[in-house]
Amino acid sequence: MNLTVTEILFGILSLMAIVSGISVIFSRNPVFSVLYLIITFFSIAGHYILLNAQFLAAVHIIVYAGAIMVLFLFVIMMLNLNKETEPTKPVWVQFAAVIAGGVLMITLIGSLKGAETITMAQPQNSEIGLVGNLGKVLFSDFLVPFELSSVLFLSAMVGAVLLGKKHTVQS
């Protein structure tokens, strides 16, 4: 069985994503969960690069590992949650949770049973993931959603500031 470099890379990245994803769920300390989630995000960014989506890989690392996870770490440190004494659910609830998630997973994977394995045979356009091409699509076909997302960001910012503000009771 000859494995190409791409297949080996796919295997390593998938294994990294799955193992660190499991560690996110089962580690007791929230800080370690955040760090494992960053590893998962980096391996998903590697998958994007393998799929010729270079722009999305860069944006993924910047947005997720750079912005979102820093936000999570800030909140954990501000709330001083860096301790391992955390209340856990009862054992039967944990058992039921694992069973339910596993059944969903198996259903999704099992629906692929009998489907033919499809690989792209004909040569394809490998330029679609580059900034220039995506920018043309974004600013021609998706111009209105792009502007609407700016409104969404503004409202999210206002909402976050409003929620985070200390409320003083006016008498």
Partner 1 sequence: MSAIQIIPLNWYITLSAILFGMGVMGVLFRRNTIIILMCIELMLNAVNLLLVAFSAHHSNAQAQVFVFFIMAVAAAEVAVGLAILMMIYRNTKSTDVNFLNKLKW
- Closer of 78 and 169 to partner 1 (Cβ): 78
**Per CB under 8 A, 143 contacts partner 1:** no
At its nearest, how many Å lie between partner 1 and the CB of residue 171? 20
Tokens 């609830």 appear where? 93
Name which of residues 35 to 64 contact partner 1 (CB under 8 A). 37, 40-41, 44, 47-48, 50-53, 55-56, 59-60, 63-64
Name which of residues 148 to 167 contact partner 1 (CB under 8 A). 149, 152-153, 156-157, 159-161, 163-164, 166
**Per CB under 8 A, 145 contacts partner 1:** yes
Q: Which DSSP helix (H) or strand (E) runs through 92?
A: helix 91-110
DSSP one-letter string for 98-155: HHHHHHHHHHHHHTTTTPPP----S---TTTTSHHHHHHHHHHTTHHHHHHHHHHHHH
Give buried/exposed letters for 39-57 (b at 16+ CB in 10 A, else e).
bbbbbbbbbbbeeebebbb
Q: Which of 1, 2, 85, 87 binds partner 1 (CB under 8 A)?
A: 87
At its nearest, how many Å lie between partner 1 and the CB of residue 9? 8
Q: Which of 109, 168, 170, 171 binds partner 1 (CB under 8 A)?
A: 109
Alpha carbons 133 and 52: distance in angstroms, whole number: 12
**Per CB under 8 A, 131 contacts partner 1:** no
